C-alpha cells in the first residue's frame, strides 16, 4: 500500500491537477467539475478523476449542493507534504552542523 505522503506528492506531480488545486484554493466557495472543465483543455470526466485523486490525497473534498457537486480545497494534504519537506530539510542542517564541528575540531 502506497504511503499517505506518496499520494500527496503524486497528486501534486501533475500539471493539470495542480492547476485545478490552485483554482480551488483561489475560490473558497468551491467549484463544480463542470465549471472547472469550462475553461480547461480536458473533459469534465477527466477533471472529475483528478478531483477524486485530490480528494484521496487530502487536498480536496466534495460537497453536494442540490444538483451540483462543489469541490473545495482542504489543507491536510499540503500539511503532510510540508511535514516531510521540513523533516528532510532538517537533514541538511545536521549535515551543515557536522561540517562546522569538523572544521572547529581541526
Partner DNA sequence: ACTATGTGCAACTTGTTGGTTGCATGATAC
Partner DNA sequence: GTATCATGCAACCAACAAGTTGCACATAGT
Positions that interact with DNA (CB under 7 A): 10, 13-14, 16-17, 32-34, 41-46, 48-50, 53, 66-69
Residue 92 or 103: the one with the smaller Cβ distance to a second copy is 92
Residue 13 within binding range of a second copy, rule CB under 8 A: yes
Report the candidate in 62, 64, 60 with the shortest Cα–Cα distance to residue 21: 60
The whole-angstrom separation of Cα 76 and Cα 89 is 20
| Contact positions with a second copy (CB under 8 A) in 29-68 | none
DSSP state of 75: S
2 Cβ contact partners less than 8 Å away, ≥ 6 residues apart: 10
Do 50 and 16 contact (CB within 8 A), yes or no? yes
| Contact residues for a second copy, defined by CB under 8 A | 2-3, 5-6, 9-10, 12-15, 18, 21-22, 25-26, 28, 75, 78, 81-82, 84-85, 88-89, 91-92, 95, 98
Amino acid at each position: 500500500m502506497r504511503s499517505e505522503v506518496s499520494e500527496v506528492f503524486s497528486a501534486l506531480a501533475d500539471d493539470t491537477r495542480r492547476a485545478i488545486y490552485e483554482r480551488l484554493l483561489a475560490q473558497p466557495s468551491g467549484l463544480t467539475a463542470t465549471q472547472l472543465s469550462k475553461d480547461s483543455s480536458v473533459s469534465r470526466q477527466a477533471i472529475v478523476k483528478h478531483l477524486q485523486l485530490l480528494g484521496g490525497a487530502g487536498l480536496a473534498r466534495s460537497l453536494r449542493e442540490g444538483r451540483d457537486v462543489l469541490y473545495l480545497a482542504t489543507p491536510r494534504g499540503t500539511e503532510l507534504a510540508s511535514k516531510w519537506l521540513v523533516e528532510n530539510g532538517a537533514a541538511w542542517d545536521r549535515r551543515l552542523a557536522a561540517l562546522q564541528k569538523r572544521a572547529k575540531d581541526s
